[in-house]
């Protein structure tokens, strides 16, 4: 393809005209996101971290205090050329239809572009879908992009996000501008950035929630997109907002988890809904986020999130990638010093209040992301749709968009369980909506294992993977559901390497991919959980070839059925 920007506009060739027409047609359907309403009021704007360093300026001798000579390889790449400033390079790669060099493979991830060789000789695009909420026309537009240039499907991720796979270098500009024309973005979805902001997927419709947290996810999403310094992190960073309702957003697996709590009358602060702050979840390193002792008012969340992230930017390790995650800064300093550094960037004091002052949280319902359930709004229901391991072919993407528009309000909500929710369906139309789901080969019923099964990309699309995680996860879940009728959800987490994108340590059953005597196989861990069932899974089998795994798991289920007492869950086993 020739350059998309010739000097003489009259000189557009047919390829360029096709691109431009597509772009403007998409722009006409652009989603208008409402202003989230929450600001970063209280954040000091003379923050020393703001604008202090431009990684793109070679004249700088240090990057946030680290001498250039000590920087890790990836930090050097960022120092030599700011990854946000490579649009010309992206266009050139598209023009020449060629793969990027190693340092640009890294930089391209700042735009959500993942070159996934040798698993595939192509690109994957990861979006940002704050709070997991996407509109029907956006889902339909993504289906068009996936069909025209990709693998004909999208994958729902464990951050309630979407990925489009297997498009060629020559199409990267088309795909990127295509998603932007839909009102979506992929900026900062990979590499050393704040990843997709997650929120409880039933926000605003949940009969049990304490507060609608989607406005916070949207506010932080936009704050990041419009704050260039927040793309200077030493490593990736995850933030979640939990409204204290029915479905978990696994906030305790995030670097920062903001969790709603209620404080009753007669306590140290006026009664109402506040937020606890959990810090340093990183389950691949076997650590949950833990309560740091703060109590925040809702209007303080965005300022505190931005201040904490800026402390990390300023002081995180840039010399050793293995020590660069947020947890290592807090480990080195201790929570007290980290909070006092955060406080320096705020115009209000941080309130330290014991978690015992807060009312206990209601139990999450581990089954409620699947099935038909009433909303808090009288006469409305949501459908929790099973999407095994998050794989969505384009025909089902379009069918879901049609159902959301025909029966709901045109909204679809992705979950961290790689499923999705269609909200706002009136009671009398639920049966018809479910019928349309069935006609599309989808369902809002699933077995106890399949409904709680998540899997990372695996070796069909990720170079780190030792195994075909998604295929194995579906095979195992279907086998166990067919054979055993368990009366509680069982979470099966299948991950292809120690990066643990599918968080195997928090599954009832966790599988970590490995080569076993030349075959694909797994380490098996059991008994993990999140939230009130929080616990790291323990090793059951150090390594087993996949071909030998089904009978072993059947033996595990048989023992569970035989030995448990009636009140015992799989987590206790
Ligand atoms: Fe790839 Fe490993 Fe993440 Fe799976 S866990 S997607 S194999 S990096």
pLDDT tens figures, 488-511: 889 999 999 999 999 999 999 999
Give, for ligand 1, the residue of 456, 498, 522 to mutate: max count of ligand atoms closer than 8 Å to Cβ: 456
Strands lying side by side in the sheet with 162-167: 113-115, 123-126, 162-167, 153-156, 391-393
Pocket of ligand 1 (CB under 6 A): 456-457, 462, 464-465, 495-497, 499-501
Contact 459, 522 (CB under 8 A): no
pTM for the complete prediction? 0.89
Looking from the CA of residue 464, the nearest atom of ligand 1 is: 7
> How many C-beta neighbours within 10 Å does residue 509 have?
27
At 82 the pLDDT is 96
Q: Distance from the CA of 278 to the center of ligand 1, in angstroms?
A: 25
At 67 the pLDDT is 93
Give, for ligand 1, the residue of 190, 462, 469, 511 to mutate: max count of ligand atoms closer than 8 Å to Cβ: 462
- Cα 421–Cα 213–Cα 366 angle in degrees, nearest 5: 45
At 56 the pLDDT is 53
Cis peptide before 310 (omega within 30 of 0): no
Looking from the CA of residue 462, the nearest atom of ligand 1 is: 1
Radius of gyration of the chain (CA): 23
Residue nearest to atom 3 of ligand 1 (CA): 501
Looking from the CA of residue 463, the nearest atom of ligand 1 is: 1
Q: Distance from the CA of 281 to the center of ligand 1, in angstroms?
A: 18
Q: Distance from the CA of 298 to the center of ligand 1, in angstroms?
A: 35
Q: Distance from the CA of 263 to the center of ligand 1, in angstroms?
A: 40
Question: Counting beta carbons within 10 angstroms of the beta carbon of residue 265, is it exposed (0 to 12), middle (13 to 18) or buried (19 or more)?
Answer: exposed
Q: What are phi and psi of 73, to 5 degrees?
A: -55, -45
At 339 the pLDDT is 98
Q: Which residue has the tokens 């000579």?
A: 69
At 279 the pLDDT is 98
Looking from the CA of residue 465, the nearest atom of ligand 1 is: 7
* 380-385 and 371-374 strand pairing: antiparallel
SS3 541: strand
Looking from the CA of residue 457, the nearest atom of ligand 1 is: 6
Cα 356 to chain centroid distance, Å, stands at 30
DSSP state of 45: T
Q: Distance from the CA of 499 to the center of ligand 1, in angstroms?
A: 6
Looking from the CA of residue 497, the nearest atom of ligand 1 is: 2
pLDDT in tens, the chain (573 residues): 333 333 343 344 455 445 433 433 333 333 333 334 677 788 876 544 444 445 555 555 899 999 999 999 999 999 999 999 999 999 999 999 999 999 999 999 999 999 998 888 899 999 999 999 999 999 999 999 999 999 999 999 999 999 999 999 999 999 999 999 999 999 999 999 999 999 999 999 999 999 999 999 999 999 999 999 999 999 999 999 999 999 999 999 999 999 999 999 999 999 999 999 999 999 888 899 999 999 999 999 999 999 999 999 999 999 999 999 999 999 999 999 999 999 999 999 999 999 999 999 888 998 889 999 999 999 999 999 999 999 999 999 999 999 999 999 999 999 999 999 999 999 999 999 999 999 999 999 999 999 999 999 999 989 999 999 999 999 999 999 999 888 888 999 999 999 999 999 999 999 999 999 999 999 999 999 998 889 999 999 999 999 999 999 999 888 888 877 666 666 555
Looking from the CA of residue 459, the nearest atom of ligand 1 is: 7
At 494 the pLDDT is 97
Give, for ligand 1, the residue of 236, 389, 497 to mutate: max count of ligand atoms closer than 8 Å to Cβ: 497
* 492-495 and 509-516 strand pairing: parallel
ipTM value greater than 0.90: yes
Give, for ligand 1, the residue of 159, 464, 507, 512 to mutate: max count of ligand atoms closer than 8 Å to Cβ: 464
Q: Distance from the CA of 498 to the center of ligand 1, in angstroms?
A: 7
Looking from the CA of residue 502, the nearest atom of ligand 1 is: 5
Q: How far apart are CA 481 and CA 357, in angstroms?
A: 42
Residue nearest to atom 7 of ligand 1 (CA): 465
Q: How far apart are CA 326 and CA 437, in angstroms?
A: 42
Per-residue pLDDT reduced to its tens digit, 330-357: 999 999 999 999 999 999 999 999 999 9
Q: Distance from the CA of 81 to the center of ligand 1, in angstroms?
A: 27
* CA distances for 236 relative to 195, 213, 218, 220, 282, angstroms: 7, 22, 19, 16, 11
* 509-516 and 256-263 strand pairing: unpaired
Q: Which residue has the tokens 């290592």?
A: 328
Q: Distance from the CA of 310 to the center of ligand 1, in angstroms?
A: 28
Q: Distance from the CA of 205 to the center of ligand 1, in angstroms?
A: 33
Q: Distance from the CA of 27 to the center of ligand 1, in angstroms?
A: 34
Q: What share of the chain is helix, strand, coil (3-state, %, to 5)?
A: 40, 20, 40
Residue 74, token pair as written in the block: 């990836």
Residue 43, token pair as written in the block: 């954040």
> How many C-beta neighbours within 10 Å does residue 48 have?
11
Q: Distance from the CA of 80 to the center of ligand 1, in angstroms?
A: 28
Q: Distance from the CA of 147 to the center of ligand 1, in angstroms?
A: 24
């Amino acid at each position: 393809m020739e350059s998309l920007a010739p000097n003489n506009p009259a000189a557009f060739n047919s390829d360029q005209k096709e691109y431009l027409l597509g772009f403007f047609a998409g722009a006409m359907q652009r989603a208008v996101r409402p202003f989230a309403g929450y600001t970063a009021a209280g954040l000091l704007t003379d923050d020393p971290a703001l604008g202090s360093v431009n990684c793109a300026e070679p004249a700088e001798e240090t990057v946030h205090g680290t001498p250039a000579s000590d920087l890790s390889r990836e930090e050097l790449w960022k120092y030599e050329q700011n990854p946000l400033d490579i649009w010309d390079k992206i266009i050139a790669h598209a023009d020449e239809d060629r793969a990027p060099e190693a340092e640009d493979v890294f930089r391209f991830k700042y735009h959500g572009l993942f070159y996934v060789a040798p698993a595939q000789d192509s690109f994957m695009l990861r979006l940002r879908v704050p709070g997991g909420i996407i509109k029907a026309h956006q889902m339909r537009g993504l289906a068009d992009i996936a069909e025209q240039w990709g693998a004909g499907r999208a994958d729902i991720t464990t951050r309630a996000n979407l990925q489009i796979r297997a498009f060629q270098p020559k199409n990267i500009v088309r795909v990127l501008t295509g998603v932007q024309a839909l009102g979506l973005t992929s900026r900062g979805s990979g590499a050393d950035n704040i990843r997709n902001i997650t929120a409880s997927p039933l926000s605003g419709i949940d009969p049990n929630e304490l507060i609608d947290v989607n406005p916070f996810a949207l506010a932080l999403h936009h704050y990041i997109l419009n704050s260039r310094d927040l793309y200077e992190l030493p490593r990736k960073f995850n933030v979640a907002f939990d409204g204290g309702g029915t479905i978990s957003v696994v906030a305790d697996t995030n670097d920062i988890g903001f969790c709603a709590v209620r404080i009753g009358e007669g306590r140290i602060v006026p009664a109402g809904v506040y937020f606890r702050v959990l810090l340093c979840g990183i389950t691949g390193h076997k650590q949950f986020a833990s309560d740091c002792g703060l109590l925040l008012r809702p209007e303080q969340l965005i300022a505190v999130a931005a201040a904490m992230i800026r402390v990390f930017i300023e002081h995180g390790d840039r010399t050793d990638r293995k020590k660069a995650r947020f947890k290592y800064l807090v480990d080195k300093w201790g929570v007290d010093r980290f909070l006092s550094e955060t406080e320096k960037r705020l115009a209000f004091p941080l309130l330290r209040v014991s978690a015992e002052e807060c009312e206990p949280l209601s139990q999450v319902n581990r089954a409620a992301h699947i099935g038909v359930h009433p909303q808090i709004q009288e006469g409305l229901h949501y459908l929790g749709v099973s999407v095994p391991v998050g794989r969505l072919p384009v025909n089902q993407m379009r069918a879901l968009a049609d159902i959301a528009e025909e029966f709901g309000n045109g909204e679809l909500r992705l979950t961290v369980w790689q499923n999705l929710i269609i909200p706002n369906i009136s009671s009398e139309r639920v049966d018809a909506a479910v019928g349309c789901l069935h006609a599309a080969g989808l369902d809002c019923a699933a077995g106890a294992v399949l409904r709680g099964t998540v899997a990372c990309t695996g070796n069909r699309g990720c170079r780190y993977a030792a195994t075909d995680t998604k295929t194995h996860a579906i095979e195992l879940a279907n086998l166990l559901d067919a054979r055993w009728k368990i009366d509680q959800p069982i979470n099966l987490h299948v991950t292809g390497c120690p990066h643990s994108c599918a968080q195997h340590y928090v599954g009832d059953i966790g599988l970590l991919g490995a080569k076993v005597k030349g075959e694909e196989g797994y380490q098996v861990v059991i008994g993990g959980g999140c939230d009130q069932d929080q616990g790291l899974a323990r090793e059951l089998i150090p390594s087993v070839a996949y071909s030998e795994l089904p009978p072993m798991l059947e033996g595990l289920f048989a023992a569970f059925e035989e030995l448990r007492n009636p009140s015992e869950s799989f987590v206790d086993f």
